[in-house]
Structure 1
Amino acid sequence: MKKLYRLFYKDLFLTNRLFAALAASVVFFLFSFFFPWLGVLPGLFFWTVLALFLIDVMMLYRSSKGVFARRHAPERLSNGDENELGIYIENLYPFNVSIGIIDEIPFQFQKRDIWFKTTLKQQQHKLINYLLRPTKRGEYEFGAVRVFVKTPLGLIRRRYTFSQDETLPVYPSFLQMRKYELMAISNRLNEIGIKKIRRLGHSLEFEQVKNYVAGDDFRTINWKATGRHGTLMTNIYTDEKSQHVYCVIDKSRTMKMPFEGLSLLDYAINASLVLSNVALLKEDKAGLITIAEKLGSVVPADKKATQINRILEVLYKEKTRYLETNMELLYSTIRRVLKQRSLVVFFTNFESMSGLERQLPFLKRISRFHLLLVVFFENTELQKLSEEPATNVEDIYIKTIAEKFAYDKKLIVKELAKHGIQSILSTPQNLTINTINRYLELKAKQKI
């Protein structure tokens, strides 16, 4: 019995409407001292409110299962993307109810406004959808779904708690990967910013012979097939396949810098996952190396169907470290693991020329044996500062420093080009598109 009373008081909440009615009752009793003609009206009003309160309690507590709720969540969440979740709610009462729902989302989101209001008719059900955007990889713990129910009288609320504790892993941006995958399969990558690359000449990978049509390159006419068929026939070539594409991710302290909630490492991880998937769709072999002051993970290049899952599982566990990159170790690892000429996409960050100068000797050595593409980040915050008008001496000083850092980034691009090293200077938001564009460009120009 004590347990039932405890549960009753624990799940019973008084509403503002009840407090307003009680306040009105007090006012009536107060006025009755000055206006005797009110008579029994204040007492009648008070007992009416009390009767309605008891009726409200009986309506809500007449059944132990008045409503049902359940959270609908995917098996895993995609880092940096808007993930859709839902709450299924069903009214089992024989009357209409007003409902408020609290979903206990993980503390990592730092959100306290996950409150949904809706109304349900008797035996009606709804699915309420909402979006969550995680900004860190790892495990996110969800709690219970709490539902607060009001009758049309609205004097009290009854709370229902549906224990649905679950832990969802947050993986690198597989939603972004799927989007690019669908575009690549249907040859519609240009719709999301991927440029159409003009091919210079053709590769040595023969595909088929077909009838010549106006606009075909006359240099690809197959004269033997033309003689056999009596009509002009032309050879069709495709991009060379089974080329090795390695994403090398720097996990040092330079990649800890955050932009829009995500660290540079997370941007690099998301771009690496998408690039690896596009390379596999192009029938190339994708591989992965992570490095900081010591070697992280190494996934040898392959084009098996399970390769993208292997890369995804490795990227899920990677974290930023707080020392500088051991470039000598990176060079020796590349020489040991990469057995043939490959495209090496090195995701890192340089904030000054001195930072480049420390790594340049090793980058030059890598570029002797492989096609090296260095991808680093444009500091968008400094770019905004350099574009703002200066109104005082302090603003002039800040703007000058910001412009100097931006200029150093451009000097880094020129310095890398001087030594025959490809580079991409990109904002974090456009990193994926810029990287895929350069990969397709290098492939079309047969530089791999």
Structure 2
Amino acid sequence: MLISGRFVALALVGVLLAAWSAVAVGVYALVLVLALATDLALAGRIAGLDVGREPTAPVRLGERAESVLAATNTGRRVVRALVRDAWVPSAGARPRAQRVGVPPGETRRLTTVLVPTRRGERDTDRVTVRSYGPLGLGARQRRLVVPGRLQVLPPFTSRRFLPEKLSRLRRLDGAVLVRQRGQGSEFDSLRTYVTGDDVRALDWRATARSRDLVVRTWRPERDRHVVLAVDTGRSSAARLGDEPRLDGALDACLLLGALAARAGDRVALVAADVEVRARLGPSGGRDVLPRLVGALAPLEPSLVETDPQLLAAEVLRQVSRRSLVVLFSALDTASGDAAEGAGLLPTARALAARHEVVVASASDPELARLAHERGDPAQAYLAAAAELAAARRAAVIEQLGLLGVHVVDAPTDVLASKVADAYLDLKAAGRL
């Protein structure tokens, strides 16, 4: 049982009667208590209120969604209620509570607007119903189990780069990318020989039917495999600007997945730290982007050191043929002992032995700012630390280059674009 603000206000009025007569105060208090008891007796039964939740469609981060409760009164009295659908704060639920009157046998719908501020799955399981009597003096209250879930998808802010990348892909696809016979290439067309063409590309049968020498042109194969390997360990939780490093990696995964699907390649995914968090087998065509979005949406950084052997083993298990592996990780995770198999370098070495590897890492703009601020001893110390971190990062990039690994080191806002450019560069060079 709960008493309302109206009951408290009436009780305070009774205090003023104390200056007139103690008997009057007693009578007033008795009447007020009887009115409260009557009001509670006439309040609609919450047990007779059947509350259900309609499914909530997935929404991209920052966009608007609606969660709808359907309340059906199976009792004999009107239910005058204050209903609170309590979501986690990051779901951005508004309004906080809603008043509703449900006559017997009727249904009312209550809509809660959700504007999430975090990616992932936002859950709720309790709805608080406070049923008031006709006088509004008191209320019954009960918490009902009404499970609900909102899937907040990555925002895919890098889709603004997609038209530009697709335009470049079409230019590459229309050009003669590989002019000689090579392993893993497919026939494109015939054309007249020009000085500088490889004589091994001559097509003697076509030449016999023509007055000129004819050569075959080749293009990189479609149906290549692209594996997106995402490190979800502690380094992915570092905040770069307004978002964690992991979110920048997921955005780049979506852009590269969409681009590779348009290029006719097959895309696979592995996300892991000390255990596998997401796994998708190779797929192509229109299925790629929806599957990627569904697999990436629930991923969250784990505050553990990533097991590099697990991540490498999962990638090698996904694809047996030579593929492009794009590893999203922090370059500072390369500081582990390579002899013990820890850190980024052993992982990259294991993958580069069998695949074309790109390591993509979002750089921290804060380091560049700290390196240039030296106004006092404290700032000078921070600048030295930032310079040391930058030097170590440069050393890691150099070591990865010696392994034949391509490195994309860029700020979060352009990381996706740079990764897509690396993919297109490999296609243009006939490496993919």
Deviations along 1:347-369, one digit per CA (max 9) or x if unpaired, are 22112885699865875786576
Give the direction of change, closer, same or farther, for the CA distance of 1:363–1:128 in structure 2 (3 Å limit): closer
Letter of the structure 2 residue corresponding to residue 202 of structure 1: A
Give the direction of change, closer, same or farther, for the CA distance of 1:332–1:85 in structure 2 (3 Å limit): closer
Aligned to 2:230: 249
Letter of the structure 2 residue corresponding to residue 303 of structure 1: G
2: CA distance, partners of 1:149 / 1:194: 58
SS in structure 2 of the partner of residue 116 of structure 1: coil
Aligned to 2:168: 197
How far does residue 25 in structure 1 lie from its aligned partner after superposition?
1.0
Aligned to 1:4: none
Q: Residue 57 in 1 paired to residue 40 in 2? A: yes
Runs of at least 5 residues in structure 1 that lack an aligned partner in the other structure:
1-11, 34-38, 209-236
Deviations along 1:359-385, one digit per CA (max 9) or x if unpaired, are 658757865764421111323554565
Letter of the structure 2 residue corresponding to residue 285 of structure 1: R
2: CA distance, partners of 1:21 / 1:301: 70
Q: Residue 376 in 1 paired to residue 347 in 2? A: no
Q: Residue 117 in 1 paired to residue 97 in 2? A: yes
2: CA distance, partners of 1:356 / 1:428: 28
Mapping of residues 230-241 of structure 1, within 5 Å: 241=222
Aligned to 1:425: 409
Q: Is the 8 A contact 1:91 1:121 kept in 2?
A: no
Q: Residue 397 in 1 paired to residue 397 in 2? A: no
Mapping of residues 254-265 of structure 1, within 5 Å: 254-255=235-236, 257=238, 264=245
How far does residue 110 in structure 1 lie from its aligned partner after superposition?
8.7
How far does residue 392 in structure 1 lie from its aligned partner after superposition?
3.9
Mapping of residues 163-202 of structure 1, within 5 Å: 163-165=145-147, 174=153, 176=155, 190=162, 197=168, 199=171, 202=175
Aligned to 1:231: none
SS in structure 2 of the partner of residue 322 of structure 1: coil
Runs of at least 5 residues in structure 2 that lack an aligned partner in the other structure:
178-185, 190-217
Q: Residue 345 in 1 paired to residue 326 in 2? A: yes
SS in structure 1 of the partner of residue 222 of structure 2: coil
Q: Is the 8 A contact 1:98 1:152 kept in 2?
A: no
Q: Is the 8 A contact 2:61 2:154 kept in 1?
A: no
TM-score calculated relative to the size of structure 2: 0.63
Mapping of residues 294-309 of structure 1, within 5 Å: 301-303=282-284
Q: Residue 147 in 1 paired to residue 129 in 2? A: yes
How far does residue 202 in structure 1 lie from its aligned partner after superposition?
0.8
Q: CA RMSD in A?
A: 5.4
Given the alignment, which residue of 23, 27, 32 partners 2:20? 32
Letter of the structure 2 residue corresponding to residue 117 of structure 1: A
Given the alignment, which residue of 112, 115, 121 partners 1:128? 112
Q: Is the 8 A contact 2:326 2:357 kept in 1?
A: yes
In the alignment of these two chains, the number of paired residues is 382
Deviations along 1:276-299, one digit per CA (max 9) or x if unpaired, are 354234321123456778999986
Letter of the structure 2 residue corresponding to residue 325 of structure 1: P
Given the alignment, which residue of 70, 82, 85 partners 1:99? 82
Aligned to 2:139: 157
How far does residue 156 in structure 1 lie from its aligned partner after superposition?
1.9
How far does residue 154 in structure 1 lie from its aligned partner after superposition?
3.2
SS in structure 1 of the partner of residue 43 of structure 2: helix
2: CA distance, partners of 1:314 / 1:175: 10
Q: Is the 8 A contact 1:83 1:131 kept in 2?
A: yes
2: CA distance, partners of 1:365 / 1:249: 16
SS in structure 2 of the partner of residue 242 of structure 1: coil
Deviations along 1:301-326, one digit per CA (max 9) or x if unpaired, are 45377777887898779985536634
Q: Is the 8 A contact 1:97 1:149 kept in 2?
A: yes
Q: Is the 8 A contact 1:72 1:85 kept in 2?
A: no
Mapping of residues 352-363 of structure 1, within 5 Å: 363=348
2: CA distance, partners of 1:60 / 1:314: 47
Give the direction of change, closer, same or farther, for the CA distance of 1:430–1:129 in structure 2 (3 Å limit): farther
% identity of equivalent residues = 18
2: CA distance, partners of 1:71 / 1:254: 38
SS in structure 2 of the partner of residue 283 of structure 1: coil
How far does residue 148 in structure 1 lie from its aligned partner after superposition?
1.9
Letter of the structure 2 residue corresponding to residue 346 of structure 1: L
1: CA distance, partners of 2:248 / 2:404: 26
1: CA distance, partners of 2:314 / 2:85: 54
Letter of the structure 2 residue corresponding to residue 27 of structure 1: L
How far does residue 82 in structure 1 lie from its aligned partner after superposition?
6.6
1: CA distance, partners of 2:84 / 2:318: 57
Q: Is the 8 A contact 1:70 1:145 kept in 2?
A: no
Deviations along 1:247-302, one digit per CA (max 9) or x if unpaired, are 23346664464668976556545644663354234321123456778999986645
Give the direction of change, closer, same or farther, for the CA distance of 1:175–1:397 in structure 2 (3 Å limit): closer
How far does residue 28 in structure 1 lie from its aligned partner after superposition?
2.4
2: CA distance, partners of 1:145 / 1:42: 39
How far does residue 345 in structure 1 lie from its aligned partner after superposition?
0.9
Give the direction of change, closer, same or farther, for the CA distance of 1:433–1:78 in structure 2 (3 Å limit): farther
Aligned to 1:322: 305
Give the direction of change, closer, same or farther, for the CA distance of 1:308–1:136 in structure 2 (3 Å limit): closer
